[in-house]
A and B are shown apart, each in its own frame.
Chain A
């Protein structure tokens, strides 16, 4: 094998480092056997390198590829979707290492490596992932640099410095491209069916669901208000409306469950002071979005649905930003359709008899609807109901009876569910609303961070004069929850984030850690707004703010102009840093002479002395033999001749040399080469 095509020892070390660096972020999502394959591949390749084993045979390679495909199918049950395809890519990456022998294999491997860097972003686009990708790209580049240093036998960290400098030089270009390169829509799409678990609220709620969700300290979304942030107790982030109860569990109505004439969103007569804010959702793999009541969004891709809810066209698979305008006071259509009334008062035919009876009793006692509601809330406040993250397990059939009359311990969904049940039992249209309540205000950038533990369920009751009115039975049991948050509400129980030991939220009492956490969160917000959320529209806004109305032509000019500017700056900095050699007049003239001959195809090799070159040129251009000979003789005399003997007329000779060169303009059609 030609020695130039081998992969140098140093490069192999870098390639293996790359390999591990690239697979590391995927490790938690991959089945164990793929990680084992990586170990096998690396050990195999190292043994080959040490000369103990040989490269896998063709048969072994085919077998391994087939095993890889089979394994993927077993692990994921499909080849379609994000995880299986990334898995296949990673398997290919590991297997390619095993047969890495030529430089061209290393190219394939490392270019694949760049691609794998990008696949990380399919799963998360957070700041940390981006920083990590930067590190991986530097490593891959270092490996590429190492391939081109055949002499290096030992592992040198200097390679990394070279790669970093190269990437640093590319950085300005990257920034320009990021802000200015046109965001095209996807030219083609494949259905990305992610196998990652759906997070956050689900469209199905049974007692205990929200309580278990509240064990998580993950961020659900971040909101930033244009004006002042409303008080915490007003922050009811609506996500889903549960109108159907079956076997003790609440579920939302799909659009197709609705009669055809009621699938359009309700008309809202807008009125009152609008409240504008933007929300950046963490990926949920679900379609619904959150907003304060009577939310409207002008973000393309966000649609209004019935029950004043917001929804995305596609499931939220990455951080997603949308803007919302909410109005606290609006006049809504005050007539409830017949179908609606029937749906929102429906109860299972049997079960929870005691609750039904209690509801009817209280209704009779109260008289009006409002009075009935306050009686029920009073009951929750007066009797020894406990708000807890550790509710008792209830039976399916008579769960509400059990909760109301026996255990009396529950989380928000228990209270909301019991409350709505009682309303419906008394004939009032009522429903459970699920979403988040409150949130943490980050004083650094004035955003509201809503965590999963802010998950909440409350009720909405239809009142003839006022439409759907929010009633939160949890507020009657535990006012702290609404005013301060879950942590304060659970202070005595000590169950707040009791399972998430590592969450920085647990250590909020340490001021330094808390400041750091909030600062990082503010940074994340900036990242998501400016980098992840930098789409077509923001790009145009940015250009418009700088250059006024932009046309496609202006856009192209700005893009190309900035690219040229950045490249020029890099080029100049390289040029300035270079050592420049003062070129003597003599050598400059001789180069001119060589250049003229080079145009005729007679090119001087660097190591060719002027005399030899002149001989060769004279052979190719017999007509010019004489001037060639004269010029070379004079050059040799000027460049190498005795300094003393020619000191006097050196200047004169140089003049003559310049004249000879300027007169020397060989032209021929038939140079013998």
Chain B
């Protein structure tokens, strides 16, 4: 069975729950296949939770959800040791982070202290509580959602921590037809998720990852990628350009995207498809583009020549 057809069926399955959002679903899958964590940023009620829930179901992963609030403490996520009077020792009660897919809802509502506890676990793949290091289950994904920062009572993630997320997606309003469809069917997202069947098992997930690692990126393509990165560093529209880690992330995602489409090599289209999601949160616009990340990525994509000089 082709990778592409497996993925197509997964996309279709998720599409049952989240109508009219195929590109975002594909990107979210791409992010997970590339072993990255995903940040979904949008207004409440746009289907952030639905998407993560459906992803977990389709991949057959254990799934937990933490609603981040301003009084959430690191221990609430990581777990605590509790004294057991029966056998006179401390027993570790693992927190919700010990799961394969963690949905961190409204991550920007909690304090930086708790945010960094989560982000540390994301980066290391393990948790250290009271001096003891405990590995997290594999695979381990975090899907964090956040409200756009211009809302009251939020602690926006600093740029350095945004970088830990491989991709940032925005869902946006559904297309009119999909919305009509949803309304007609009195579509209940929660109901559908229960019925979502697993499309990709862990073996297949591993196979996809192997396929990704075999994808080739030619000199010409790397040249294009470097021109993209160089443009963000040199052009006046960018206050801060892409880091080498950002460049690596872009390449990884492009390779995954190529693999998802049954290609053994990356083409510029792959880079362009993943670019907004990968680069959007890593670039800090300056002056005239302030606050308009879309226009900025668009500018980047339009101005960098695909064909080398």
Chain A residues in the interface with B (C-beta under 8 A):
3-4, 8, 149-153, 581, 583-584, 586-587, 590-591, 594, 604-612, 636, 639-645
Contact = CB atoms under 8 A, between A and B. Distances in A.
B159 interface: no
Contacts of A4: 288
Contacts of B239: 151
A639 B220 contact: yes
Given A607-B304, A607-B306, A609-B267, A642 B237 contact: no
A609 B221 CA distance: 11
Interface in B262-292: 264-269, 272, 286-288
A666 B237 CA distance: 38
A608 B306 contact: yes
A581 B309 CA distance: 7
Contacts of A153: 286-287
Given A150-B236, A610-B307, 10 more contacts: A149-B236, A150-B288, A153-B286, A583-B309, A586-B220, A587-B220, A609-B272, A636-B267, A640-B220, A641-B265
Given A151-B239, A607-B303, A640-B220, A3 B287 contact: yes
Nearest to A153: B287
Nearest to A593: B307
Interface string B297-309: 0000111111111
Contacts of B308: 581, 583-584, 587
A351 to B, nearest CB: 83
A606 B237 contact: no
A3 B288 contact: yes
A612 B220 CA distance: 17
B147 interface: no
A606 B306 contact: yes
A610 B272 CA distance: 12
Contact of B216 (A605, A611, A643): A643
A157 B216 CA distance: 46
Nearest to B302: A607
Nearest to A580: B309
B218 interface: yes
Contacts of A608: 306
Contacts of A606: 302-306
B185 to A, nearest CB: 36
B287 A610 contact: no
Nearest to A8: B287
B307 to A, nearest CB: 5
Contacts of B304: 606-607
Contacts of B269: 609, 611-612
Interface in B219-252: 220-221, 236-237, 239
Contact of B301 (A607, A639, A642): A607
A8 B308 CA distance: 33
B287 A151 contact: yes
A609 B218 CA distance: 15
19 contacts: A3-B287, A3-B288, A150-B288, A151-B286, A151-B287, A584-B308, A586-B220, A587-B220, A587-B307, A591-B307, A606-B302, A606-B306, A607-B301, A610-B268, A611-B267, A611-B269, A640-B218, A642-B216, A645-B264
Nearest to A637: B265
Nearest to B275: A607
A151 B265 contact: no
A640 B266 contact: yes
Most buried by B among A4, A153, A581, A636: A636
A639 B221 contact: yes
Interface of B: 216, 218, 220-221, 236-237, 239, 264-269, 272, 286-288, 301-309
A590 B224 CA distance: 15
A650 B267 CA distance: 17
A636 B305 CA distance: 15
Nearest to A587: B308
Nearest to B268: A609
B233 to A, nearest CB: 13
B264 A642 contact: yes
Nearest to B285: A151
Contacts of B286: 151, 153
What 8 pairs across the A-B complex have the smallest Cβ distances? A151-B236, A606-B305, A3-B288, A639-B220, A607-B302, A151-B286, A151-B287, A609-B268
Contacts of B307: 587, 590-591, 594, 604, 610
Given A587-B307, A606-B302, A610-B306, A150 B287 contact: yes
Nearest to B218: A640
A640 B221 contact: yes
Nearest to B217: A640
Contact of A640 (B236, B265, B302): B265
A642 B265 contact: yes
A639 B267 CA distance: 9
A604 B220 CA distance: 18
Nearest to B303: A606
B264 A640 contact: no
A8 B286 CA distance: 12
Nearest to A612: B269
Nearest to B215: A642
Contacts of A151: 236-237, 239, 286-288
A609 B271 CA distance: 10
A608 B237 CA distance: 21
A608 B269 CA distance: 9
Contacts of A149: 236
A232 to B, nearest CB: 66
Contacts of A642: 216, 264-265
Contacts of A607: 272, 301-306
Nearest to B266: A640
Contacts of A581: 308-309
Contacts of A150: 236, 287-288
A279 to B, nearest CB: 56
A519 to B, nearest CB: 46
A153 B286 CA distance: 9
Contacts of A605: 302
Contacts of A609: 267-269, 272, 306
Nearest to B269: A609
A605 B306 CA distance: 9
A152 B286 CA distance: 8
Contacts of B264: 642, 645
Contacts of B309: 581, 583, 587
A327 to B, nearest CB: 71
A640 B288 contact: no
Nearest to B227: A606
Given A4-B288, A8-B287, A609-B269, A639 B218 contact: yes
A604 B306 CA distance: 10
Nearest to B239: A151
A586 B223 CA distance: 13
Contacts of B301: 607
A1 to B, nearest CB: 11
A612 to B, nearest CB: 8
Most buried by B among A151, A586, A587, A604: A151
A174 B288 CA distance: 37
Contacts of A645: 264
Contacts of A584: 308
A220 to B, nearest CB: 55
Nearest to A606: B305
Contacts of A641: 218, 265
Most buried by A among B286, B305, B307: B307
A642 B259 CA distance: 13
A607 B221 CA distance: 13
A134 B168 CA distance: 53
Contacts of A610: 268, 306-307
Contacts of A590: 307
A641 B267 CA distance: 8
Contacts of B303: 606-607
A590 to B, nearest CB: 5
A594 B268 CA distance: 17
A55 B290 CA distance: 25
